[in-house]
Every structure is written in structure tokens, then in C-alpha cells.
Amino acid sequence: MKESLYSILKGKFLVSGDAANNWRFIIFASLLAIIMIASSHSADKKVHYIAELNDEVRELRSEFVDGRSELMRLRLESYIMVKMKERGLAPSTTPPKKIRVKSQR
């Protein structure tokens, strides 16, 4: 057990007679590790991008709600009356009259 551990630590398995098989496996395992690391980095990048998009969606939704509430405030009759008073206009005191036109057929 002690000898096999020393031979592994000294790297004898890399220079022995059947070292070609060992090198093939080491290169294969290294390539798999590189592919796994690259895949992990790609997934992390996508997760961060999705988080950024979610933040942007929240911000745009907030702007939309703010704009909609501002529009609702601007459409109120009381707000329009105040703005028209600044320009010298006031609501009519007499109610509107309906005009009927008789068709001549």
C-alpha cells in the first residue's frame, strides 16, 4: 500500500510501459473537466442575464404604473377645472340643451 502511494506521488504511472493508456485517460478526464467548467460558466452567465432582465422588467412595470396613475390624475375633472381657471375659463352654469333636427324626407 505504501509503495503504491509513493509510486503515484512520484508519477511512475506516467512513465511506465503502459503510460500511453494512462495519458489518454488523463487527457480525456481533463477535457471533460474543461467542458464541465465552461458549461457551468455559461449557465451562470445566463442566470445573471435573466436576473438583469427581471430587474429591468420590474423597473419598466413601475414606470408604467407611475405613468398610468399620472394620466388618471390628469384626466380628473377637478384637475381640468383648476387648469382651465388659470387660463380664464370656467364651467358653464347653464345646462346644455339638446338640439333636434327633423329630417326632411
Number of Cβ within a 10 Å radius of residue 34: 10
Give the distance from CA 20 to its chain's centroid: 49
Digitized pLDDT (tens) for each residue of the chain, 105 residues in all: 777 777 777 777 777 777 777 788 889 999 999 999 999 999 999 999 999 999 999 999 999 999 999 999 999 988 888 889 888 888 888 988 899 888 887
CA–CA separation, 14 and 20 (whole Å) = 8
Return the residue matching grid coordinates 347653464: 94
Give the Å distances, CA to CA, from 94 to 85, 88, 97.
18, 18, 9
Which helix (DSSP H) or strand (DSSP E) does residue 102 occupy?
Answer: none
Report domain extents, the chain: 2-86
Amino acid identity of residue 2, one-letter, is: K
